[in-house]
Amino acid sequence: MTWRKRTDLAVEARQLWCERTGRAGALAGVKERKEQREGYEVTEVEVVDQRGAQALGKPVGRYVTVELGGLHRREGDAFGRGARVLAQMLSGLLPPGKGTVLVVGLGNRAITPDVIGPAAVESVLVTRHLVEQEPRYFGSFRPVAALSPGVLGTTGMESGALVKAVAEDLKPQCIVAVDALAARSIHRLCTTVQLTDTGIVPGSGVGNARAALDAQTLGVPVIAVGVPTVVDGATLAADLLEQAGQETDPRLLRQLDGGGMVVTTRDIDQQAADLAKVIGYGITLALQPQLSMEDLQMLLN
């Protein structure tokens, strides 16, 4: 089997296709669009049909990438602008309606680069019980439930199976799933957020193949919000070797592949915490458009 550079980001898959094929410019079955929003760069890659899906190795659907680089530099209202741009892009992917939304934080709370999902969920305003118990005050809120299903190693259950069991009981209108991703470029670590209406697909980059969480397996639309927190060691090595004008030795790469080695930033703990918070705020703003950032700062931690 051919070893392939690994990325969960559609924008990087697009770029890898160019490099592999040596072709620039348009790619059949894929549309691309860039814009600036709230001072951040937003790229949408749309995989229109099977030609595009095969070329990029990504299912048909929309992939919106937001570059939140400025968040770390804590420039003027970087946090508020970041939450707003995420809210805007997420709103564009959500199915219309006001029904219950289940927000799912995937990943292992005990592993720093994997904590993004559960940590983001802690910054989401959970309202389902309030809407039911206190309709007088919360009647205008959209019902939101939240779940961090853990990982197979600590629960003995596939997170997908667990989400499915809960979704069958809860019957949400849609699911928003937050997860850590693998990127190809170290410059994207904890700076890029990818939103997609295709759900979470198997073979995801952070390592362990997991069952898909998508409309087909869960029965309701699944919007995935992903953040690259690691670069796969073998992918980085291949890139370095190529930059040095060197053919990649597949044996070396497979050896690196098996080592569980990941590349990350020294301050991943803080960066993951920052990004989780902006994602939680962004999801909440998208689901409760009547609230302002000031409201959220009072209602959330």
Residues 183-202 that bind a second copy (CB under 8 A): 186
Sheet of strand 30-37: strand arrangement: 30-37, 40-47, 61-67, 192-196, 222-232, 174-183, 101-105, 144-147
Distance, in Å, from the CA atom of 61 to the CA atom of 235, rounded to the nearest integer, reads 25
User: What DSSP character marks residue 89?
Assistant: H
Residues 6+ apart with CB under 8 A from 86: 66, 193, 195, 225, 278, 279, 281, 282, 283, 285, 286
Of 33, 137, 249, 292, the one binding a second copy by CB under 8 A = 249
Q: Does 18 bind a second copy (CB under 8 A)?
A: no
Residues 6+ apart with CB under 8 A from 46: 30, 31, 32, 33, 61, 62, 63
Specify the residue, 167 or 201, whose C-beta has the smaller distance to a second copy. 167
Q: Does 280 bind a second copy (CB under 8 A)?
A: no
Specify the residue, 49 or 249, whose C-beta has the smaller distance to a second copy. 249
Specify the residue, 22 or 156, whose C-beta has the smaller distance to a second copy. 156
Positions in 30-49 near a second copy (CB under 8 A): none
Contact yes or no for 127/288 (Cβ under 8 A): yes
Rounded least distance, CB 265 to a second copy, Å: 6
Rounded least distance, CB 26 to a second copy, Å: 32
Q: Does 211 bind a second copy (CB under 8 A)?
A: no
Site string for a second copy, 145-184 (x = CB under 8 A): xxxx-x-xxxxxx---xx-xxx-xxx--------------
Specify the residue, 198 or 265, whose C-beta has the smaller distance to a second copy. 265
Positions in 215-234 near a second copy (CB under 8 A): 230, 233
Strand, helix or coil for residue 235:
helix
